[in-house]
Amino acid sequence: MSPLVAGLLQTGILLTALAVVYRPLGDYMARVFTAKGHLKAERAIYRFARINPDAEQKWSTYAYGVLGFSFVGIVFLYVVQRVQSLLPFGFDRGDIGPGMAFNTAISFVANTNWQSYVPEAVMGHAVQMIGLTVQNFVSAAVGLAVAIALVRGFVRHQTDRLGNFWVDLVRGTLRILLPIAFIGAIVLIAFGVTMSLKSGVDVDGQVVANAPVASQEVIKELGTNGGGVLNANSAHPFENPGEWTNLIEIFLILVIPVALTRTFGRLAGDRKQGYVLLSVMGVIWTAMLAVIWAAEANGIRPLEGKELRFGIPGSALFANATTGTSTGAVNSLHDSYTGLGGGAALLNMLFGEMTPGGVGTGLYSILVMAIIAMFLAGLMVGRTPEYLGKKLGRKEVTAAAVSILAMPTVLLIGAGIAAVLPSTQGALNNPGEHGLSEILYAYASASNNNGSAFGGITVTNDWFQSSLGLCMLFGRFVPIVAVLALAGSLAAQKKVPVTAGTLPTTGPLFATLLTGSIVLVAALTFVPALALGPIAEALL
């Protein structure tokens, strides 16, 4: 089979699988967040946590819930790493140092899964399970909860209640992520992914590190987390042994963010509102896939940093899925990509990760961008913009702007300082333009909560550990608070009736406007930086 046919076939299978589950999963998720009753297990958790699941919260309490839960998550994960030597399954890997533990704790709670460590050398199985796996689930569920809260802001009227964060968190985890993960883990094991409690395996006299891979692998993709159980991440044969596991993992990465557009349409009472978002995501995603695939197929060393079993199309598909969402798992080394291919992966993140974006984060990011798009359209025709029956006044647009600008702000400040620090020179793995791309990619990845890397860069010094940690923190929580404030002010409004002057948000005009806004905001913000890194490299 020629690489072209092989690539098209794999893409076709992937898209067909997504199309098949789109409606049932999207509708199911809508039901999960609107159902009245609680499961027995959920009641047990609420009772233990002393939470009243039937009390709805204001946006500020909802936001305190997110922040409080994430705060204790960071502290817990930090402590667990610092006392690793006291835990079982540590294999004398010792306690994790403070800088690395700080960075990793924020990284996994912020759904970034940036890894400054070599897992099989540093992390024992206990930390991987009770620390990292747990955050793989709940950080995704937090994103999901915030997205649902924003949707409630649009569909509710004249109320200050946005739902209950704890209920949304627990339901997203127990009813959506956990069942899919459990089944997915077993499927992956059947296809050859390992699941071992030993530290390694002796293969013909050569010791290769092993781990309880399958249980973490599946939620790593499904929750758009991306933190490898082993250093080579999804390029490692134990994490991703073949062509079919590769397709399954790409499917898992995309399935929830894609299906959430259906959930959104359902909850908004107009399925077309969801389809239009999906079409925008799909257009950008497909275009970026074409760029990465073509660039890699025509590289000077196309197979450097790629696994032969995936080939170039299987690697490009994965790279596009992982950077278009907030995943950051890799099955090939983006650092060895061409200037154009690696630049496109970087650009995927710089779009703000909404094509289709992470679990929940993708939906709320594109809704925020839709507000910006409608605001721009409103400026052009001189009308107060509306979206989904809500007026977009000063408060709403300000919150949307804060949410959009948080990422570029921390990214450019961080990358700018890193680029001039003398210590950075020694941290780079490649000279010239590509070295700058390594810095840019690192800060883009952290600020967007992606977690993939131009992995040659050594990020273990105090500057990188702390600055990237802060980028992850602000890149995650500033937009979340802004989005919840936005949801609060939307929910407080009356519904604006549709008139002849209302710009319909289900047609091609809106889709074009939204696509244009996504591309334009990224282009205006990042072209100067991109010109010195990947663009220069692509032109050399």
Find the binding residues for another protein in span 219-238 (CB under 8 A).
230-232, 235-238
CB of 457 to another protein, least distance (A): 8
Residues 6+ apart with CB under 8 A from 32: 171, 172, 175, 176
How far, CA to CA in Å, does 138 sit from each of 80, 209, 350, 445?
17, 27, 25, 20
CB of 55 to another protein, least distance (A): 12
Residues 476-535 that bind another protein (CB under 8 A): none
CB of 334 to another protein, least distance (A): 9
Residues 6+ apart with CB under 8 A from 117: 96, 100, 104, 123
Q: How far apart are CA 79 and CA 76, in angstroms?
A: 5
Q: Which of 26, 163, 212, 479 binds another protein (CB under 8 A)?
A: 212
Is 456 an interacting residue with respect to another protein (CB under 8 A)?
yes
Is 50 an interacting residue with respect to another protein (CB under 8 A)?
yes
Q: Where does this chain touch another protein (CB under 8 A) — which range of 146-154, 278-286, 432-440, 499-507? A: 432-440
Residues 372-411 that bind another protein (CB under 8 A): none
CB of 429 to another protein, least distance (A): 5
How far, CA to CA in Å, does 158 sit from each of 85, 152, 153, 496?
54, 12, 10, 12
Q: Where does this chain touch another protein (CB under 8 A) — which range of 21-29, 115-123, 494-502, 511-519? A: 115-123
Residue 127 and residue 26 in contact, taking contact as beta carbons nearer than 8 Å = no
By CB under 8 A, the count of residues binding another protein is 114
Residues 270-309 that bind another protein (CB under 8 A): 299-309
What single string gives the DSSP state of each residue in 258-313?
Answer: HHHHHHHHHHHT-HHHHHHHHHHHHHHHHHHHHHHHHHHHT-SSTTTTB-TTTHHH
Is 3 an interacting residue with respect to another protein (CB under 8 A)?
yes
How far, CA to CA in Å, does 445 sit from each of 78, 221, 354?
21, 16, 14
- 3-class DSSP state of 83: coil
Q: Which of 22, 137, 351, 375 binds another protein (CB under 8 A)?
A: 137
Q: Which of 18, 30, 59, 65 binds another protein (CB under 8 A)?
A: 65
Query: Given the complex with another protein, which of 195 and 294 has the nearer CB atom?
Result: 195
Site track 308-327 with another protein (rule: CB under 8 A), x = hit: xxxx-xx-------------
CB of 227 to another protein, least distance (A): 14
Q: Between the CA atoms of 267, 269, 272 and 274, what dihedral angle is there, to the nearest 10 degrees?
A: -10
Query: Given the complex with another protein, which of 112 and 173 has the nearer CB atom?
Result: 173
Output phi, psi for 86, to 5 deg.
-85, -10
Is 419 an interacting residue with respect to another protein (CB under 8 A)?
no
- 3-class DSSP state of 183: helix
Residue 302 has which token pair? 């196309």
Residues 140-199 that bind another protein (CB under 8 A): 166, 169-170, 173, 178, 181-182, 185-186, 189-192, 194-198
Is 6 an interacting residue with respect to another protein (CB under 8 A)?
yes
